[in-house]
């Protein structure tokens, strides 16, 4: 069986420790009116050619860093030898500003590129309250990593701008659907792929019509078919992950979850009240 490839494996320690410090003061060190300006100034002091965008409850930073990425093959990129330094140089000033500001920031986004590879971008998204909880030792390293979203994309050679990439605020339900799709995929890989039961590909998640909808890209080994017990296991494993994560975020603004298994055409719809069984 083919092993899933994760170009970001091994970054757990760095991403937990980088820039988690922040002081508490009665007066904000970085008032919301000057948040973008203050962050831009600190990034310039780090000799970074970066741009900052603050939209409602989301702060985004875009920058280039030589050596941050490497090319694995024609369509896949991974983190390069300078990635650790590139991420630290942004996270320290970013956390310094956000954790000492009265700005109503919920999320931050990093859009990192490497001048050697035009069109390749690494995106990182975090919920600021997760950073605060990690700083207070309320989240351990693996959990903080699981709550951090990464995406390595190859787009056309025309440079992206933050206005194009982040036209509006990130919503909590969007963040949770993205995070859950990756966590479901990781859990199914751990339980099914490792045991030789199934091939696990990229799972997708979205929020529509007050429902979380997840597409489970799980297929049987070549020449075999899933039995009913395996289908139930796929749905139960996914539902357990969803129930635990939504409970941990205390997110209740939804009506149901819908799981779709394309290779068999099976659907599972559970109303919100039924999720308590899986917690």
pLDDT, tens digit, 9 for 90 and up, residues 237-251: 999 999 999 999 999
Residue among 28, 98, 23 at smallest CA distance from 60: 98
Other CB atoms within 10 Å distance of the CB of residue 44: 12
pLDDT at 183 over 90: yes
Strand partners, 180: none
pLDDT at 173 over 60: yes
Residue 190 is predicted with a pLDDT of 95
Strand partners, 110: 61, 124
Residue 22 is predicted with a pLDDT of 46
DSSP string, 37-52: HHHHHHHHHTT--EEE
CA–CA distances in Å: residue 252 to residues 16, 134, 243, 249, 266: 27, 23, 11, 9, 26
CA–CA distances in Å: residue 269 to residues 24, 241, 254: 44, 15, 13
Ramachandran angles phi, psi of 111, nearest 5°: -120, 100
Residue 11 is predicted with a pLDDT of 54
Output the CA torsion sign for 42, 48, 49, 51: negative
pLDDT band at 194 (very low <50, low <70, confident <90, very high): confident
CA–CA distances in Å: residue 91 to residues 18, 193, 229: 6, 34, 45
* 72-122 per-position pLDDT tens digit: 887 788 999 999 999 999 999 999 999 999 999 999 999 999 999 988 999
3-state class percentages of the chain: helix first, strand second, coil last, to nearest 5: 35, 25, 35
pLDDT band at 161 (very low <50, low <70, confident <90, very high): confident
pLDDT band at 20 (very low <50, low <70, confident <90, very high): very low
User: What whole-number distance in Å separates Cα of residue 221 and Cα of residue 234?
Assistant: 15
Half-sphere exposure of 259 (CA within 13 A, CB side): 27
Instruction: Note the residue count of the chain.
Output: 279
Contact 81, 32 (CB under 8 A): no
**Helix, strand or coil for residue 75?**
coil
Residue 159 is predicted with a pLDDT of 79
Radius of gyration of the CA atoms of the chain, in A:
20
């Amino acid at each position: 069986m083919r092993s899933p490839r994760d170009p970001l494996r091994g970054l757990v320690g760095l991403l937990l420790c980088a820039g988690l410090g922040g002081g508490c003061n009665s007066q904000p060190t970085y008032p919301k009116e000057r948040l973008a300006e203050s962050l831009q100034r600190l990034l310039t002091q780090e000799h970074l050619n970066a741009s900052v965008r603050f939209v409602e409850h989301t702060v985004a930073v875009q920058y280039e860093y030589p050596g941050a990425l490497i090319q694995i093959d024609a369509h896949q990129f991974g983190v390069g030898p300078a990635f650790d330094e590139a991420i630290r140089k942004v996270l320290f000033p970013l956390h310094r500003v956000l954790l000492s500001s009265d700005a109503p920031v919920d999320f931050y986004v990093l859009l990192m590129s490497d001048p050697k590879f035009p069109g390749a971008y690494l995106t990182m998204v975090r919920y600021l309250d997760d950073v605060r909880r990690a700083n207070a030792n309320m989240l351990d390293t693996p959990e903080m990593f699981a709550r951090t979203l990464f995406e390595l994309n190859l787009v056309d050679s025309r440079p992206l701008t933050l206005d194009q990439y982040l036209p509006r605020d990130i919503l909590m339900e969007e963040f949770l659907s993205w995070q859950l799709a990756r966590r479901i995929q990781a859990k199914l890989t751990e339980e099914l792929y490792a045991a030789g039961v199934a091939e696990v590909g990229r799972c997708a998640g979205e929020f529509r019509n007050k429902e979380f909808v997840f597409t489970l890209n799980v297929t049987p080994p070549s020449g075999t078919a899933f039995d009913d017990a395996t289908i139930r296991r796929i749905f139960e494993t996914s539902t357990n992950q969803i129930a635990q994560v939504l409970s941990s975020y205390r997110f209740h603004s939804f009506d149901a979850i819908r799981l779709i298994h394309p290779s068999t055409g099976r659907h599972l719809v559970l109303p919100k009240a039924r999720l308590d069984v899986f917690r």
